[in-house]
Structure 1
């Protein structure tokens, strides 16, 4: 089922509703290939929308927070917007002070994606980024597929191809509140991460290049604990975690467990698998107070958390980090799987 929600830059934004066999419901927008709603039951069988977002096309266009968006070409940060590729200097758009963030001021989150295929439980969208857009070399062709499988798991699968060497890091930037969007802050909700190391940051949240153990630090989520039990500073978390679990077979795909989030009050539980080497955990410390959300909700600091499976930030400037390079003839592929349960 699909319908228009309004126009952005003169083009209609379409919302597509996907429904699983047990009632899981996701709504996806063509504007930025966004996850706009995600309805999940609690232990009493009551459904709530657990992702932050907006009601109107105008608010989606104006949002400063990338709610639910497919971000890139290179999501996260690149220091100074600069890196070298095959000996050539590349200068990207700098949209966060002196640095590049989430693809620049006109990243793929600002594009109208085209619906390629849609059914009751899936939708595939595509978009193109011409050579030179936001400074990136190579023309990039991208697809983003959302689907709900027979086990009511939500899959997000992103692919890209290029006609010249470039770098790619596409992520989904949903903000979760397991109690339901607009239900207050998430600091008492629990999180476990399958990561034994993290990349510390310096000014501008740019990685220092070090890779440090999480043991004995606020970054240790190797066992479930409350998000707010130990914050690394007043802004909370906005850091890359280095995923360390062995790869497993999940429905024929080679994926590793990455995160487990739970709300003790409602019992909602979400587990994430991915094929990515890293995960950016962000607690929304920079969300503006009073930001208009859905159904009259007002968001503020810590109203939701993001779990962005990804290439590591600033990888093009750190040879020791996992490579984000994509060459002609190759296919970039990023897979995320979200499964849900309710606990007593």
Structure 2
């Protein structure tokens, strides 16, 4: 695939909803070869093309080549998730003394916004920037009591290509009544390529967290303080292969069928901080994730079961991808000891996450010895 020589934006039709509404795709091209394709359905990252050490570009996120795959089955590939990402126990909570009953769609719990979350909505394009930092901004208005959540919520999501080899995601939200807000992007990454046929167990992962949240059988955090990662398979502070300890006989790996846990980050005054680093040995691609969110859900693709055919007709199986989802901690509305997810009128919810790509120096996959990916000329 030849990379474009200058930054630019392209807009095209991607599909049609059953009611005849058009689903669009906006493609952001950067001069260094980075390319992001965003569709209005779910404000989703449909494809992300990143060069390897030789400058060859591959799409590194799972998903579908055609819109019909997104419509047929809800799997959150690349989607914007809300109004509340992850789970709320019992699909209910109390806000300012009032009981809030949500739609239960994960057993008795509410998951990823309910039965028809933000990932199942067709967002509108409100702005396109075609310049040195190509970008698209999408908007959605969530009605009061949609899926049970109080308050009309106006949300904007901006995808932007910035600096060398960086994809920046900015989310904002405003409400007319007190509510809870917790947004994330749910991309499934495989740095070897979505069509490579390789799993992510050999990806080297680092996570900047001293604690994680232990969960029960319903993936709800246990009624206890965060657990220390030290001495457990959840200690990624120095970096390990994802598969190195995933089959250890640890009770939390059994209950999650692998990694599907919130790691507790320590953001600095709302500014994005380093949260995770993912490196793949064959391509040499490295992803560094920075965010201002208090948690990072690490999900090792445990429930990909081979029943979905994705890009290139490949069946997606367990551990074919890994999700790194920055957001508030699960079940925060029911846990006053957790960082709050409350949003009041006059306040602005802000979520910033950056995905920075480099490549690893040969033989240094587990280190920070990296340089930026070359452009197509090899410089």
TM-score by length of 1: 0.96
Tell me the CA shift for residue 298 of structure 1: 1.7
Unaligned runs of 5+ in 2: 1-9, 247-252, 363-379
* In structure 2, C-alpha distance between the alignment counterparts of 1:247 and 1:133, rounded to whole Å: 33
Three-state SS of the structure 1 residue aligned to 2:199 is coil
Unaligned runs of 5+ in 1: none
What is residue 261 of structure 2 aligned with on the other side? Answer: 239
Tell me the CA shift for residue 139 of structure 1: 0.5
Tell me, yes or no, if structure 1 residue 285 matches structure 2 residue 298: no
CA contact (8 A) 2:175 2:343 kept: yes
Three-state SS of the structure 2 residue aligned to 1:254 is coil
Residue 212 of structure 1, aligned match among 223, 227, 247: 227
What is residue 72 of structure 2 aligned with on the other side? Answer: 62
What is residue 42 of structure 2 aligned with on the other side? Answer: 32
State which structure, 1 or 2, has the greater radius of gyration over its C-alpha atoms. 2
CA contact (8 A) 1:8 1:57 kept: no
* In structure 2, C-alpha distance between the alignment counterparts of 1:201 and 1:320, rounded to whole Å: 16
Where in structure 2 are the equivalents of 1:192-203 lying within 5 Å? 192-203=206-217
Three-state SS of the structure 2 residue aligned to 1:161 is strand
CA RMSD after TM alignment: 1.3
Between Structure 1 and Structure 2, the one with more strand by share is 1
Three-state SS of the structure 2 residue aligned to 1:203 is coil
What is residue 44 of structure 1 aligned with on the other side? Answer: 54
Aligned residues: 339
Residue 203 of structure 2, aligned match among 189, 201, 207: 189
Tell me the CA shift for residue 185 of structure 1: 1.3
Tell me the CA shift for residue 194 of structure 1: 0.4
Tell me, yes or no, if structure 1 residue 8 matches structure 2 residue 10: no
Tell me the CA shift for residue 292 of structure 1: 1.0
Three-state SS of the structure 1 residue aligned to 2:201 is coil
Tell me the CA shift for residue 265 of structure 1: 1.3
CA contact (8 A) 2:24 2:39 kept: yes
TM-score by length of 2: 0.87
Residue 245 of structure 2, aligned match among 210, 230, 236: 230
* In structure 2, C-alpha distance between the alignment counterparts of 1:269 and 1:258, rounded to whole Å: 14
CA contact (8 A) 2:165 2:358 kept: no
Give runs of ≥4 in structure 1 deviating > 2 Å. none
